[in-house]
Structure 1
Amino acid sequence: MGTNSFLKVLPEMVTFMRVAELGSFSAAADLLGITPSAASRQVKRLEQEIGVQLLQRTTRQLRLTEPGVEAFARCRELVAAAQGAMDIGAQFARAPAGRVRLSAPKAFARHVLHPHLLDFLRQYPAVDVQLIVADRDIDPIREGVDLVVRLTTAPPEGLVARRLMAAEHILCATPAYLARHAAITHPHDLRAHSCLSLGEHERDNHWRFRKEGEDDAKVEIEVAVDGRYVCNHSEMRLGGALADLGVACVPTFTAREALDDGRVMRVLSDWTLQGNYQGQAWLLYPPNRYLPPKCRVLVEHLLSAVPSP
């Protein structure tokens, strides 16, 4: 494609992006104020100009091809840049306004984000927030979400990643449970206790511990545990611990209130619990130079408000 030849398919790029977002020529046509057949012709012209198939069409659904996924991301960047250019006046002349779509895992959304979002909404009355609570990985580009929180050791490439806080897992149990059972002073002591684990993967009941030893040597231990309640939701595991069912493995942010008011006590606090669910909480968004003011102020609010030990 020539240096300036892309100019003649800019409308086609917008149409393709809307079709890919909505998964329907009809829905995209309604949004753009054209007919479905016109939308289909525009996407076909774009495919001819690029020289690859972007969409797989069936009687039931539309699916992006591998080149289509890449083209969709580029078209979104293009439209976002154009929108950013149109919004320049608003950035300087008006306060942030509009709706921000933010996705986060359930427990993190409830225990960490929710109070700060309420503060944010009070501070910015012209900005609305749609909080999408989901324990799966949301693709902000494919799913049209402005900001995504993800708990991981390594944020994905292709997105801007801002660190919010550490996502540490700990062990806890009620004082009543601990008083009725044998003392837990070493990870091996857990073999004699009911331990509440995730159960998502085969080795989720193999808890790995690390401790700094003498001369900075690391002591690492793995213990196979068992318990009466296995659940892949941290708040429910905490609920099991609060019901005196045993020692629960939960994120610190899930257990914080129960720890602070003494309903549960931390177990083996001098050991670090290792696992696949450790890491950092990252705030992710597409690498867009023209981040809308409504998103920018929410990002800055969360970065300053969320505790980062």
Structure 2
Amino acid sequence: MDRVTAAAVFNRICELGSLSAAARALGMSRPMVSRYLEEMENWAGARLIHRSSRRLTITPAGEKILQKTAQLARLSEEINDHASHKAIAGTLRIACAHFTATQIVGPVIPGFLARYPDLRIEMEINNQPVSLISERIDVAIRITDAPEPAAIARHLGDCVSVVCASPGWLQRHGEPRTVAELAQHNCLCYSRFAGQLWHFEDEQSEKLSVAVSGNYSAGISSLLCEAAMADAGIAMVPEIEARAGLQSGRLVQILPRYAPRRLGIYGLYMSREHTPAALKLLLDEVKAALVADAQKQSGATG
């Protein structure tokens, strides 16, 4: 296994105090984080962390090794920075769905290309997952709760959804007060998901689901949002998509005490070796934009 990565994983475990938290931060599975920790301990020839059911405790040997791995991380970062500042050129091929392209990736592209004018970006817009290898895709940006296991998945942020309808629809049909009542309404559905189940979590973190149906489905969330604003029914769409309608009053959020299940936003690519230098830089840019937007919305609603 890669010892530099093992050192980086060990640093993150010590920083966050949890293998699960380190796995989420690094975009790895928890078993993979455990394997890197074992590799680090084998390399050091000592137990570095005491594991218990309640918490992790760094050992005296781990404290000494942490000083060394922190130095290694800084050196690795300096080397990466040096490589990154070489001419960023060539072509970067990105695959994503329509919503991801227009609302998440597209807004960062002009500024990114302004900084790296020798780079060319090709966006492949497809609402169905594409093969990264056969389509020669460098990175796919996807919204999912199950990243494909064959790819490296870097977590960039979360997609927050809202359930909404127009004031006119609610005036004529009434507003559902519980998740179960959604089954009695015309729901506008995203056509990629068969057997339309909408998933929620209440204020006590209890998970709830309801089977919904309606007379209109589409593979593009902006169409569902437009239909909802035109009094066609109730839609569950990404909050970013519904934001303008909610702010203008053309849409009303329904069931605010029940949070629709969040999906992760991931950058997927096939190999850590010989990846285009622009790939990491672009994913950093997308992640920073998502973090900034989440902080802005948190401040606006806080």
Find the counterpart in structure 1 of residue 240 from structure 2.
Answer: 253
Give the letter for the 2:133 counterpart.
I
Give the letter for the 1:256 counterpart.
R
**1:262–1:129 Cα change, 3 Å:** farther
1:282 aligns with 2:273: no
CA contact (8 A) 2:166 2:250 kept: yes
CA shift at 1:96, angstroms? 0.9
CA contact (8 A) 2:104 2:286 kept: no
CA shift at 1:109, angstroms? 0.9
Aligned partners of 1:133 and 1:280: how far apart in 2? 19
- State the secondary structure of the residue aligned to 1:135: coil
CA shift at 1:302, angstroms? 1.8
Aligned partners of 1:267 and 1:294: how far apart in 2? 41
CA contact (8 A) 1:228 1:245 kept: no
Identity of aligned residues (%): 27
**1:286–1:251 Cα change, 3 Å:** same
1:299 aligns with 2:246: no
1:177 aligns with 2:147: no
Aligned partners of 1:91 and 1:191: how far apart in 2? 55
Find the counterpart in structure 2 of residue 141 from structure 1.
Answer: 133
Find the counterpart in structure 1 of residue 110 from structure 2.
Answer: 118
| 1:191-215 superposed Cα distances (whole Å, 9 cap, x missing partner) | 44322123555521x43433134xx
CA contact (8 A) 2:198 2:260 kept: yes
Which of the pair has more CA radius of gyration?
1
Find the counterpart in structure 2 of residue 49 from structure 1.
Answer: none
Aligned partners of 1:127 and 1:202: how far apart in 2? 39
Aligned partners of 1:222 and 1:183: how far apart in 2? 18
- State the secondary structure of the residue aligned to 2:218: coil
Find the counterpart in structure 2 of residue 212 from structure 1.
Answer: 203
Aligned partners of 2:209 and 2:284: how far apart in 1? 40
Aligned partners of 2:126 and 2:248: how far apart in 1? 28
Aligned partners of 2:145 and 2:211: how far apart in 1? 24
Aligned partners of 1:234 and 1:186: how far apart in 2? 23
Aligned partners of 2:108 and 2:121: how far apart in 1? 12
Aligned partners of 1:283 and 1:202: how far apart in 2? 24
Aligned partners of 2:179 and 2:209: how far apart in 1? 8
CA shift at 1:290, angstroms? 2.6
Find the counterpart in structure 1 of residue 54 from structure 2.
Answer: none
- State the secondary structure of the residue aligned to 1:184: coil
| 1:232-291 superposed Cα distances (whole Å, 9 cap, x missing partner) | 3322211210111111122223223323333212111111234xxx52010011223232
Aligned partners of 1:160 and 1:223: how far apart in 2? 33
| 1:117-138 superposed Cα distances (whole Å, 9 cap, x missing partner) | 1221222212121111111212
| 1:148-191 superposed Cα distances (whole Å, 9 cap, x missing partner) | 11222232233222111212332111223223331322223334
TM-score (ref. length: structure 2): 0.62
CA contact (8 A) 2:158 2:263 kept: yes
Return 158-167 or 256-265, whichever deviates more.
Answer: 256-265
**1:304–1:207 Cα change, 3 Å:** closer
Aligned partners of 1:159 and 1:306: how far apart in 2? 22
Give the letter for the 1:300 counterpart.
D
1:34-45 residue pairs with structure 2 within 5 A? none
CA contact (8 A) 1:116 1:306 kept: no
1:127 aligns with 2:105: no
1:109 aligns with 2:96: no
Aligned pair count?
213
Give the letter for the 2:200 counterpart.
F
**1:123–1:202 Cα change, 3 Å:** closer
Q: 1:238 aligns with which of 225, 235, 238?
A: 225
- State the secondary structure of the residue aligned to 2:127: coil
1:9-48 residue pairs with structure 2 within 5 A? none
1:181-196 residue pairs with structure 2 within 5 A? 181-196=173-188
Find the counterpart in structure 1 of residue 195 from structure 2.
Answer: 203
Unaligned runs of 5+ in 1: 1-87
TM-score (ref. length: structure 1): 0.61
Aligned partners of 1:272 and 1:301: how far apart in 2? 27
CA contact (8 A) 1:100 1:146 kept: yes
- State the secondary structure of the residue aligned to 2:133: helix
Aligned partners of 2:121 and 2:128: how far apart in 1? 20
Aligned partners of 1:112 and 1:292: how far apart in 2? 21
RMSD: 2.7
Aligned partners of 1:298 and 1:104: how far apart in 2? 14
